[in-house]
Structure 1
Amino acid sequence: MTLMAGNILEGTVVNITNFGAFVEVEGKTGLVHISEVADSFVKDIRQHLKEQDKVKVKVISIDDNGKISLSIKQANPQRKSVKPAEIDWTAEKKKQNSESFEDIMSKFLKDSEDRMQDVKKNQDFKSKSRKNFG
């Protein structure tokens, strides 16, 4: 099979760097950028790949200079499109409608007053400790 964008091939990891892995496919070497190794965030590529690993890669592109861009995550046929979570918005509205505006405001004011008291206590404690050391 020839190297063309979109082809999925098997290759061998020949070198690993901080920014990606070089994979040999059909006698040529291409780069799998660290962002194309896995679906999740990859901080250290060496936790995912080792030299001489056999990997399935997809050819993303081949530029005019012959540089080959590869992807491991796009070659994985088990990738599933992630559906957004289903949210029952009617339950949220019912929950909001059960409390009146006044109830919500009184809770907010109580929480605000409690927080302000905590801040004042903390400030008083700091000012007293400064007087003792100053």
Structure 2
Amino acid sequence: MAIEVGNVFEGRVTGVKPFGAFVALPEGGTGMVHISEVSNEFVQDIAAVLHIGDTVKVQVINVAPDGKIALSIKRLLPPPPRQPREGRGPAGGARPGAPRPGGPREGGHFGAGRGGNGRPPREGGRGPARDSAPRVWQPKAPVHSDNMSFEDMMSRFKSQSEEKMADLDHETNNRRGGGYAPRGRGGRR
């Protein structure tokens, strides 16, 4: 049988190095089993698993143009049993509507980030250097509401809310590098 990718052979270990083991094949060739292809378990010291003279069953996983043959022992082993994940039901999946472990995820893959756009923050981005702390909206000192009517309190709340939204829009446009007026509040749709 020719030495081709996918073929299975029984060979003898002829050498053991820290990175893998050399195996003599019946066809006269020699291949190497990399330490990562020895077992489904993590192997720290290959000399504790394989010894010179051991007979092993190997599968050819690559034949390089220069004649080097890559072999695998673990591809012929049964797959390891899957460990159930913690916090999961017997079916292995989360219940629909159940809260995610670690809380809800907001803002896409990278979280809310600086721009809330799901992208990671840029390193050394364009424009002027920014302060180390991001700018955070601070409310103005509260006005005593002892004698304020409900309408006055609502009016003040609306005014503060509009200020905050204008600051957020301004910050968002600055991050995008845009010089355009945002559509929406007070503008055409």
What TM bracket, shorter-length normalisation?
0.5 to 0.7
Per the alignment, residue 41 of structure 1 pairs with 42
SS at 1:30's partner residue?
strand
Percent of paired sites with the same residue: 44
8 Å CA contact 2:38, 2:72 repeated in 1: yes
Counting strand residues as a fraction of each chain, which structure ranks higher? 1
**How many residues were matched structurally?**
94
Name the aligned partner's letter for residue 55 of structure 2: K
Q: How far apart are 1:55 and its partner, in Å?
A: 0.2
Per the alignment, residue 14 of structure 2 pairs with 14
TM-score by length of 2: 0.44
| Structure 2 gap segments, 5+ residues each | 100-189
In the TM superposition, 1:67-106 aligns within 5 A as 67-76=68-77, 78-80=78-80, 82=82, 85=85, 87-88=88-89, 89-90=94-95, 93=98
| Structure 1 gap segments, 5+ residues each | 95-134
Runs of 4+ in structure 1 over 4 Å off: 83-86
Q: Of the two structures, which has the highest relative contact order with CA contacts closer than 8 Å and spacing of 6 or more?
A: 1
Deviations 1:40-81 (A, max 9, x none): 1111001111101000000001010000000010122x3357
User: What is the RMSD computed on CA atoms of the aligned residues?
Assistant: 2.7
TM-score by length of 1: 0.61
1:32 aligns with 2:33: yes
